[in-house]
């Protein structure tokens, strides 16, 4: 068993089941009840409160908070996941026995475990299920086409009906909303989240962002540069992942504290490398830095190929698994960049590459 923020846990958080609804509080301790109601309010949830167990509420609630005073009264209730035994006496060794008797997943002591409990209640209020499959795209050198691939992956994901968020993590990149033709679209940009601390509501985040091509985009505005602290980056990306679906992040070619926060939450990274020796040499340095944080980094090779190189040779030289060859769409090479975003043509080569990537990645995620 593992001690976390004043609680002892041996199972995943109860919200992992994806059930959305009202948490249940069972206690006769008025002081404890006041604290639990306060924590529920902080998490944006309105609980159901009972002094005794009611079978229908007990079974339906996605999260049950049992006061230590009520442990004896709920011993006969049906065993289920998502039960937290809440107490105050850190020195009471009997609390673990009572937790076993009622089949609790967690034992939590107040006030130490308050933030942990707020997060779990907020997960319930938001109906959190499987977190989003989160993919980062980074160029092996400048101009490698990482932003184009990131946009293409997001457009292809949205076309498949998945909840999709495209995140621009490069404040000096010019803005992915421009690449999507939505620089004037209403919605918040990164500077609005610079003061974020703690937990960001995932539903509120999604609704606040510009909607372009059936996906949500978090990009930068046209104002002066605003530094977003690492803790704000962490909170925003965690909120994005809790909504499920997919999250695509366009990464800069450097690893500072904020980028490290993003890398720590990625499931897969794609390193876009043009197939020529200088690009491979530059990409090796990027891979070395990124690989210190991100375990699953794959190479996506873009032609044309220098003599003696192909996609497999590039992957071998970098010592990375090959994600495939990224095709080039001729429309994106025109001076105006074309009127449609990358991968907008469902039968185009880039769209086919992106669709194939998602099919494989989602299959891998489901098997994990």
In tens, the pLDDT along 290-305 reads 999 998 999 999 999 9
Strand segments (E) across the chain: 2-4, 7-9, 24-26, 48-50, 64-67, 83-87, 106-109, 133-139, 164-168, 211-212, 215-218, 246-251, 268-274, 297-302, 322-326
The angle formed by the CA atoms of residues 241, 247 and 253, to the nearest 5 degrees, is: 115
pLDDT confidence band for 223 (50 / 70 / 90): confident
Q: How far is CA 145 from the centre of its chain?
A: 24
For residues 335 and 276, membership in a common domain is answered with yes
In a domain, 40, yes or no: yes
**Is residue 3 one of the residues assigned to a domain?**
no
Find the CATH number of the domain harbouring 88: 3.40.50.2300
pLDDT at 242 over 90: no
Look-up of token digits 């962490």: 234
What is the CATH classification number for the domain harbouring 166? 3.40.50.300
Contacts of 199 (CB under 8 A, 6+ apart): 118, 119, 122, 235, 238, 239
Query: Does the pLDDT of residue 5 top 50, yes or no?
Result: no
pLDDT in tens, 115-156: 889 888 888 887 666 889 999 999 999 999 999 999 999 999
Residue 196 inside a domain? The answer is yes
Q: Where are the alpha helices (DSSP H) in 127-273?
A: 146-159, 176-179, 202-208, 230-242, 257-265
pLDDT at residue 128 in the model: 63
Q: Are strands 215-218 and 211-212 parallel, antiparallel or unpaired?
A: antiparallel
Work out the end-to-end distance of the chain between its first and last CA atoms, rounded to an integer number of angstroms: 22
Distance CA 28, CA 39 (A): 17
3-state secondary structure of 161: coil
pLDDT at 13 over 50: no
Looking at the domain assignment, is residue 8 inside a domain?
no
Do 80 and 210 share a structural domain? no
Number of other CB atoms surrounding residue 188 within 10 Å: 15
Let me know whether 113 and 247 are in one domain: no
122 and 143, same domain (yes or no): no
Mean pLDDT of 232-249: 93
Domain end call among 126, 156, 190: 126
What pLDDT digit, counting tens, does each position of 23-46 carry? 999 999 999 999 999 999 988 889
pLDDT band at 6, cuts 50/70/90?
very low
Mean pLDDT over all residues of the chain? 88
pLDDT digit string (tens) for 245-272? 999 999 999 999 999 999 999 999 999 9
- Model confidence at 9, in pLDDT bands (50, 70, 90)? very low
Q: Is the pLDDT of residue 330 over 70?
A: no
Task: Answer yes or no: do 163 and 119 share one domain.
Answer: no
Percentage of the chain modeled with pLDDT above 90: 71
Q: What is the pLDDT of residue 142?
A: 93
Judged against a pLDDT cut of 70, whether residue 338 lies above it is answered with no
User: pLDDT digit string (tens) for 49-85?
Assistant: 999 888 889 999 999 999 999 999 999 999 999 999 9
Which residue range is the domain that position 54 belongs to? 23-126
Using only C-alpha atoms, the chain has a radius of gyration, in whole angstroms, of 24
**pLDDT at residue 22, as a whole number:** 87
Residue 221 lies in a domain: yes
Instruction: Give pLDDT, residue 336.
Output: 52
* pTM of the complete model: 0.75
- Clarify whether residues 120 and 140 are in a common domain: no
> Tell me, what's the pLDDT at 367?
59
Burial label for 100, CB within 10 Å (0-12, 13-18, 19+), is exposed
Residue 5 within a domain: no
Q: What is the pLDDT of residue 368?
A: 56
Domain final residue, candidates 126, 151, 184: 126
Q: What is the tally of structural domains in the chain?
A: 2
Q: What is the pLDDT of residue 174?
A: 83
Say how far apart CA 114 and CA 198 lie, in whole Å: 13
């Amino acid at each position: 068993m593992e001690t976390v923020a004043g609680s002892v846990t041996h199972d995943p958080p109860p919200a992992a089941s994806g059930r959305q609804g009202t948490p249940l509080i069972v206690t006769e301790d008025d002081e404890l009840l006041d604290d639990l109601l306060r924590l529920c309010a902080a998490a944006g949830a309105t609980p159901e409160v009972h002094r005794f167990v009611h079978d229908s509420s007990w079974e339906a609630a996605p999260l049950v908070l049992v006061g230590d005073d009520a442990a004896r009264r709920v011993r006969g209730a049906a065993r289920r996941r998502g039960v937290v035994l809440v107490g105050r006496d850190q020195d009471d060794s009997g609390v673990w026995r009572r937790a076993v008797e009622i089949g609790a997943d967690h034992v939590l002591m107040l006030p130490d475990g308050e933030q942990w409990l707020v997060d779990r209640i907020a997960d319930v209020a938001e109906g959190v299920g499987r977190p989003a499959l989160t993919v980062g795209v980074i160029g092996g050198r400048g101009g490698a086409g990482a932003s184009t691939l990131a946009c293409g992956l997001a457009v292809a994901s949205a076309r498949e009906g998945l909840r999709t968020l495209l995140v621009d993590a490069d404040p000096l990149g010019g803005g992915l909303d421009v690449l999507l033709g939505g620089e004037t679209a209403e919605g918040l940009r990164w500077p609005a989240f610079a003061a974020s601390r703690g937990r960001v509501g995932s539903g509120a985040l999604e609704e606040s962002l510009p909607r372009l091509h059936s996906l949500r985009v978090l990009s930068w505005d046209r104002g002066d540069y605003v530094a977003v602290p690492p803790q704000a980056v962490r909170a925003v990306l965690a909120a994005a992942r809790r909504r499920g679906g997919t999250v695509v992040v366009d990464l800069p070619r450097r690893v500072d504290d904020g980028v490290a926060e993003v890398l720590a939450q990625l499931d897969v990274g794609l390193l876009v490398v043009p197939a020529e020796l200088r690009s491979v040499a530059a990409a090796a340095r990027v891979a070395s830095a990124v690989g210190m944080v991100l375990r699953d980094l794959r190479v996506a090779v873009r032609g044309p190929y220098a003599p003696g190189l192909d996609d497999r040779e590039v992957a071998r030289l970098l010592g990375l698994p090959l994600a495939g060859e990224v095709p080039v769409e001729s429309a994106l090479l025109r001076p105006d960049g074309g009127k449609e975003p990358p991968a907008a043509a469902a039968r185009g080569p880039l769209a086919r590459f992106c669709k194939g990537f998602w099919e494989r990645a989602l299959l891998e995620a489901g098997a994990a």
